[in-house]
Amino acid sequence: MNKTYRSVWNDTTGTWVAVQENAKGHGKKKSRAAINLLATGAGLVASMSAYATTLDGGSVAKSTQVAIGQNSKVTANTNDGGQGIAIGVNAISSGSYAVAAGGSSNAAGDQSVAVGNYAHTTGTNSNSVGFGSLANGAGSNAIGAFSTASGNFSTAIGNQAFTAANGVALGAGAKANTINSVALGTNSVASSTTLGSAGFAPGGATLSATTAFAEVSMGAAGSERRITNVAAGYGATDAVNVSQLMAEDARVSNVSNNLTNLSNTVNNINTATGNFTNIINVVNNSARHACRDACRDARRGFRRACRICFGGQHQKPGRGAHACRAEDRGSLPSRCGGRLPRNRRASGQPRARFARL
């Protein structure tokens, strides 16, 4: 059964001792009020191994604990965890070496601290500071009204900030909903559902760190933030700043210009080739026509000569027929390679052939 203790002066030993509330002390009466006040302070800030303090209806389980405030309680009753403190109406310190300070505050985790009305800790070595704050995991920290650190080694700083295990939420309303993630800034949200998916790989390129372990959010949808004063990245997984992108864009533009110039050169070559082809066609046509005309004129002239020499036509002296000698008449058929028409043979001459030119 819990008992209420108070400190009294023992003249025999010359020390202050903790006794039941109805016990009487013997010593200097004029210093009794000051002594009680000093004992209370000593119980809060000095070594608690020798005293138990209860004020205004508080209760403790061991003589090494302190409960101040109506219905405040220190309930830990372990061999090594008796030193608890509960300060405030309905404050409860139930963890070993736990401190609850504030109305209805509750320090349930061992070595935890809950400061503020309705502040609550459940994890070992956790801390909650602020109205309605909750540190719900080992090594967790919730600082700010209604802030919540819901997992082991999580930290939420800011009014209504929230974080999952191993996460950090910094700023009023910041929420790191996915484990290991970080939300920086008021109302920032880190809640990606695609962390296990491979990142975008343009052109099927091979990338480094294709899947994400966690995420860092600097804002939320519709409330994005710009990151400034970022140095140029060096490694494959470093952030890239705009100057690096501008340099790459200039290089791509230069390549594009070179390709355009090359395309224009190819087009010019194609045009020149077309013109050359046209010239060749014109030359071929001209040569074909010239050859045809020459052949036609040659045939006409040759036939005319044959008619004159072998046709038996009578010409005036010095014109045509008399200029064809007999040996010419004998040689022309061999040159012509074909037969002269019957009515075109000279009298007494054999039929001759002449080639068709």
Are 122 and 108 in contact, with CB atoms under 8 Å apart?
yes
Q: Whose structure tokens read 């007999």?
A: 326
Lowest-confidence region among 77-81, 172-176, 347-351: 347-351
Residue 54 has pLDDT above 60, yes or no: no
| Rounded-to-integer distance, Cα 346 and Cα 344, Å | 7
Mean predicted confidence (pLDDT) in 58-72: 71
The domain segmentation of the chain, as residue ranges, is 5-198+208-217, 243-344
Specify the pLDDT at position 11. Answer: 61
Are 209 and 237 in contact, with CB atoms under 8 Å apart?
yes
Specify the pLDDT at position 201. Answer: 77
Tens digit of each residue's pLDDT (9 = 90 or more) over 294-313:
777 777 776 666 666 655 54
Residue 270 has pLDDT above 50, yes or no: yes
Tens digit of each residue's pLDDT (9 = 90 or more) over 161-180:
999 999 999 999 999 999 99
DSSP string of 72-113, one letter each residue? -EE----SS----EEESTT-EE-STT-EEESTT-EE-STT-E
Q: Which CATH topology does 5-198+208-217 take?
A: Alkaline Protease, subunit P, domain 1 (2.150.10)
Tens digit of each residue's pLDDT (9 = 90 or more) over 308-337:
665 554 445 444 444 444 444 444 444 444
Tens digit of each residue's pLDDT (9 = 90 or more) over 215-264:
999 999 999 999 888 888 888 878 888 887 887 767 777 676 777 777 77
Note the pTM of the prediction, 2 decimals.
Answer: 0.57
